[in-house]
Structure 1
Amino acid sequence: MLHYTTYQLDPEAPWVTFVHGAGGSSAIWFRQIRDFKKSFNVLLVDLRGHGKSKNHVYQKLKRYSFDVIGDEVIEVLDHLKVKNSHFVGISLGTIIIREITERHPDRVSSMILAGAIMKLNIRGQILMRLGILLKSVIPYLLLYKLFAFIIMPKKNHKASRSLFVQEAKKLYQKEFIRWFTLASKVNPLLAFFRIKETPIPTLYVMGEEDYMFLPSIAKLVKNHSSAKLEVVPACGHVVNVEKPEAFNQIALNFLKE
């Protein structure tokens, strides 16, 4: 089973489950814990191969799929006897949460998807193709640093880049390749998500400077009545790290509605 950490306020309090992105770990949520645990039971998970789940024993897979990754998150909820939860995700973690809602809608009370990925623009598609060509040739950390800089290029994105690179250092080369391969084949799934609206209340929290992903989210929200969008000014892809106070206020207001 995945490594997890809980902060339990009260047995009757609602749960909020945090899901990080590829190359990160539950450590990226450290600026959210204090505010969220005042009103909710909090669950942090480290995805397969990430953070403290890296040394856990679970079934070895040559290739990963989003349904397998999602089921491992659900396994933690089952273990804790959590019937349903609000979910908060960042970057690739938003795809995992969205996939969970398709197969386990009864387990998801609402979704907060930050730095959400619902479509790869031309630059993103070129980046993925470049990564496919280079993933077995150059050290994964160098490739990850390149990706982090392209997605988060500005000076005020430096803290986010540094945090994700620090967490990515804990991955093994083979683990990185498995996750990168998973991400490189995500387009059909994202196309499905853009077409099919979920009735589950959804809040997208995007940085104003998240140029690769914000345009597609703005377009999606116009067509999905259950979705809302909050744009954080002067902020890049990793909203919860760059602007934690704004992110926490926006997210908690949504959850308490």
Structure 2
Amino acid sequence: MDLATIETWDLGYRGDTARHRTADGCELYYELEGEGPCVTFVSTIYVVSTAWRNFTRRVVTENRILTYDLRNQGASSGEPKGFDQHVDDLVSLLDHLGIERTHLVGSSISTLICRDFAVRHPDRVSGLILVGPPISPWGSKRRTRITRSWLAALESGGPRALFDAIYPLVFGDRTQAIGGTATYLALRERFLATNSTAQLRANLSDALDPSEDVAMLTRVAAPTLLLGGDDDFCISPSGLRLLAETMPDATAEIFDECGHLPFFEHTDRFEESLRDFVRGVEARRTRQ
């Protein structure tokens, strides 16, 4: 991604896009486009779904891309009902769209939604791409403590204070140096425009709920690609590789000079890795 283009990112909501109403009355905003194997992007709790348009311009040329806002996020409605509810929402959306199987792409905390979905509904997952997973082979104490510190920042200074706590951790040294103040300000304004205090408080609280049981990873049968940056604050390269060894069918790929969000900091390589992974998994399924 060219840092100079941040201010021109396509983040707008499309008024003619359908919304799916779940059984409890939550309306999920979604977009579906392209042809080919389905790839579903599960947004993190801080970034709305429309941002994925900027990181899938080549992927969409050969895949069917589904993006959606989580409940209580962006253009989706619905009261938070705990972290497990996100799995049920995704099942409901896929059923509504008639999608029996899909690849799942998660980033940061949403990798845990993908993990839980893959364990509960293995027959519906073709493959997993987990970007910057906050899932340590040694447990989740770091993730829990960081989340609590972000909640404290939100309570003391609102969304702006939260962004100031997140930004220096999430983005790598290289990105922050090249982007400078302009990148910081552009991302901050987009963060503040798409996240309210109430939404962030509820979603951060939900982020404390996911299971810390590392053994859950041994139950993920789907082929899995773990993507991480060598400058990721959340999990080290050695931790990511050990995570891959813990899972039945997983590989790890480390992006140099990159922080927690490889799709933002190295978009071309991210898209290439994703496309190659999906192609490989689909080829394996064809041969079976």
Aligned with 1:17: secondary structure? strand
| 2:220 counterpart residue number | 198
Aligned with 1:52: secondary structure? coil
| 1:130 counterpart residue number | 149
Q: Which runs of 5+ in 2 are unaligned?
A: 1-26, 281-288
Alignment of 1:71-220 (within 5 A): 71-119=88-136, 124-152=143-171, 154-157=173-176, 159=183, 163=187, 166-186=190-210, 189-192=211-214, 196-214=218-236, 215-220=238-243
User: Offset of 1:90 from its aligned partner?
Assistant: 1.1
Q: What do you get for the CA RMSD once the two structures are aligned? A: 2.4
Contact 2:133 2:234 in 1 (8 A): no
Q: Please identify, of 221-230 and 107-116, the stretch whose mean Cα deviation from structure 2 is larger.
A: 221-230
Question: Using the alignment, how far apart are the partners of 1:220 and 1:72 within structure 2?
Answer: 27
1:18-50 CA distances to partner (integer Å, 9 max, x unpaired)? 112111011331233321122111111111122
Compared with structure 1, are the counterparts of its residues 200 and 35 closer, same or farther at alpha carbon in structure 2 (3 Å cutoff)?
same
Considering only CA atoms, is the larger Rg found in Structure 1 or Structure 2? 2
Q: Matched residue pairs, number?
A: 246
1:91-129 CA distances to partner (integer Å, 9 max, x unpaired)? 111111111112111111100111111037766444333
Question: Using the alignment, how far apart are the partners of 2:106 and 2:156 within structure 1?
Answer: 31
Q: Is 1:37 aligned to 2:60, yes or no?
A: yes
Q: Which runs of 5+ in 1 are unaligned?
A: none
Compared with structure 1, are the counterparts of its residues 100 and 122 closer, same or farther at alpha carbon in structure 2 (3 Å cutoff)?
closer
Q: Is 1:222 aligned to 2:245, yes or no?
A: yes
1:202-238 CA distances to partner (integer Å, 9 max, x unpaired)? 0001111114213432221123231100111111111
TM-score if structure 1 supplies the norm length? 0.85
Contact 1:17 1:44 in 2 (8 A): yes
TM-score if structure 2 supplies the norm length? 0.76
Question: Using the alignment, how far apart are the partners of 1:155 and 1:172 within structure 2?
Answer: 29
Residue of 9, 18, 31 corresponding to 1:5: 31
**Percent of residue pairs identical:** 24
